[in-house]
């Protein structure tokens, strides 16, 4: 079958639009006020002694060095240099099989994120029937996710986390899993403002599209 010039142009345009739509489906939708927390090339604005690397596609990954293990090496966490109070944090993460990390919020003392902040868990618990507060999506020590929305290891997940005053809301992969009153929870003693950090558990983890909107 032959095509005239105008028909060929129309087909090419349609293919370009379809490709653009597929790409858009893989990218979190733009939301007003959300700004990137990484520049895509460096760790500017963050501090760590861990082996965190910015990959060519802009994703930030942890590559544990030989002999590194455990979660109590707080200086190895990837921690913001400044503090945040009320905000919406939007990010994607991926882990390997058996992977473990966590998103720490309102950390008062970077020398001890666990006791001076609180953690939204990242863990390879896809398919677990009744997840607890230590499973993926849990607020460690405070609340289990309302449902298990964790994807299998190797796939990208998305957290949307809202901290406003004493209210914490969390979505995992588009589904609400927390609406927690922090002042009535087991972590009510944590500060209302602090650093954001990603845990170094000495296991591979990737973060991308990390964006934040500060709320007044």
Give the burial class of 151: count Cβ atoms within 10 A of its Cβ; 0-12 exposed, 13-18 middle, 19 or more buried: middle
Domain ranges of the chain: 31-214
Question: Which pLDDT tens digit goes with each residue over 83-138?
Answer: 999 999 999 999 999 999 999 999 999 999 999 999 999 999 999 999 999 999 99
How large is the C-alpha radius of gyration of the chain?
20
Note the pLDDT of residue 24.
34
CB 178 within 8 A of CB 185: no
Phi, psi of 143 (to 5 degrees): -160, 140
**What is the chain's mean pLDDT, rounded?**
89
Architecture of domain 31-214: Sandwich (2.60)
Neighbouring residues of 22: CB distance < 8 A, sequence distance ≥ 6: none
Q: Is 54 in contact with 38 (CB distance < 8 Å)?
A: yes
Q: Rounded to whole angstroms, how far apart are CA atoms 216 and 212?
A: 13
Percentage above 90 pLDDT, the chain: 85
Rounded alpha-carbon distances, angstroms, from residue 157 to 17, 74, 105: 26, 24, 18
Q: What is the pLDDT of residues 74-93, one digit of tens each?
A: 999 999 999 999 999 999 99
Judged by DSSP in three states, 17 sits in helix
Task: Name the 3-class secondary structure at 178.
Answer: strand
On whether the CB atoms of residues 136 and 121 are closer than 8 A, the answer is: yes
For 40-63, how does the pLDDT look when each residue is reduced to its tens digit (9 = 90+)? 999 999 999 999 999 999 999 999
- Confidence band (pLDDT; 50, 70, 90) for 2? very low
């Amino acid at each position: 079958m032959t095509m005239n010039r105008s028909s060929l142009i129309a087909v090419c345009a349609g293919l370009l639009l379809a490709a653009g739509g597929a790409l858009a489906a893989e990218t979190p939708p733009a939301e007003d006020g959300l700004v990137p927390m990484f520049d895509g090339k460096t760790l500017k604005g963050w501090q760590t002694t861990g082996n965190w690397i910015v990959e060519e596609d802009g994703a930030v990954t942890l590559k544990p060095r030989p002999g590194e293990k455990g979660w109590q090496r707080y200086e190895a966490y990837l921690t913001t240099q400044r503090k945040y109070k009320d905000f919406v944090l939007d990010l994607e993460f991926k882990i390997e099989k058996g992977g473990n990390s966590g998103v720490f919020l309102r950390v008062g003392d970077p020398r001890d994120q666990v006791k001076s902040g609180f953690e939204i868990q990242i863990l390879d618990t896809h398919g677990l029937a009744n997840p607890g507060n230590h499973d993926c999506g849990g607020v460690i020590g405070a609340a289990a996710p309302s449902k298990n929305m964790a994807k299998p290891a190797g796939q990208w997940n998305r957290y949307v986390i809202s901290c406003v005053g004493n209210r914490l809301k969390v979505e995992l992969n588009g589904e609400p899993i927390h609406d927690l009153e922090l002042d009535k929870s087991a972590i009510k003693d944590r500060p209302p403002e602090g650093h954001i950090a990603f845990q170094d558990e000495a296991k591979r983890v990737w973060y991308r599209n990390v964006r934040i909107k500060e709320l007044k």
